[in-house]
Chains A and B, each alone.
Chain A
Amino acid sequence: AAHVPEMTYRQLSCDDLETQQAAQVAVDYINSHLLHGYKHTLNQIDQVKVWPRRPFGEVFELEIDTLETTCHVLDPTPVANCTVRQLAEHAVEGDCDVRLLRQDGQFSVTFAKCDSSPDSAEDVRKVCPDCPLLAPLNDSRVVHAVEAALAAFNAQNNGSYFQLVEISRAQLVPLPVSTRVEFAVAATDCVAIQVTDAAKCNMLPEKQYGFCKATVTENLGQEEVAVTCTVFQRQPVVPQPQPDGLVSIASTSAPVDPPASASPPASPPAAPMVVGPMV
């Protein structure tokens, strides 16, 4: 039998230009396939192995660490323009295994799996002893704050009625007693000021998403709601691309079932198309 040499991988430096190019393609792929939460940006390349691939090409096997940004996945802002969530805000890390095929100098992702986890309470306390930690998204105070904020937004809104897509972040602030929330919304076919039964409203076929930040404060038995929403430009109706790999993002934060199905963002626009903030 002819001697078949054992297949061995090529070792590259994690800071090598080739490795960084592969990692950037991986992060862009991950962000374009995220259905919930926030876009992530590359923080560190942990490991890289490059395998020869028959009949031609190479397979890059990468382990990368990412950090959550402040841009929601429905926000069309390119991730390069998004701010990284700071430690004092309770940062969230992503840990990803990715495989990419390089043929003719072009990378394509064949597999991606990520786990995300918030920074530890101890680490947050080290940099900011009084900063609020992330709260479970299904906490009753969080859900109430989102409902109150969305109602306040719709009450001030002359256009479409916006419905909740997902609660993406929440913090319970001890003093003054308040709840900080962030959530994604979508325009419906109802007019905000005419809505009597929100359950009858349907999301527009040409999706129009928004992202809201709100603080609901208890003040002498009264509730004060401050909400700011940014509404993004409409996303054209396009057939959903079939996955060419596997992306699985698991979060340790308590997940919340979105009341309406959130479609993944259509092909990400090249330029930010932000309209607003509205209220």
Chain B
Amino acid sequence: PVAKPGMVAAAVLPSCPGRIRYFKV
């Protein structure tokens, strides 16, 4: 994607939920 001039680039949001350690129930 190309940002237009003057457009604020979207901040990278923290990733949640986190990794699954075993398996999903």
The residues of A with any CB-CB pair to B shorter than 8 Å are 11-16, 19-20, 41-48, 65, 67, 84, 87, 91-93, 119, 123
* Interface residues in chain B, defined as those with a beta carbon under 8 Å from any beta carbon in chain A: 13-25
Q: Are A14 and B22 in contact (CB under 8 A)?
A: no
Q: List 22 A-B contacts (CB under 8 A).
A: A11-B14, A13-B18, A14-B15, A14-B19, A15-B18, A20-B18, A41-B22, A43-B21, A43-B23, A43-B24, A43-B25, A44-B17, A45-B16, A45-B18, A46-B16, A47-B16, A65-B25, A87-B23, A87-B25, A91-B23, A91-B25, A123-B25
Smallest CB-CB separation from A67: which chain B residue? B22
A contact patch SS? strand
- Given contact pairs A13-B16, A47-B16, A91-B23, enumerate 12 new A-B contacts (beta carbons under 8 Å): A13-B18, A14-B14, A14-B15, A14-B18, A16-B14, A42-B21, A43-B22, A43-B23, A44-B24, A45-B17, A84-B22, A123-B25
Collect the chain A residues with CB atoms within 8 Å of residue B15's CB.
13-15
With a CB–CB cut-off of 8 A, which chain B residues contact A48? 16
Shortest CB distance A67–B (Å)? 6
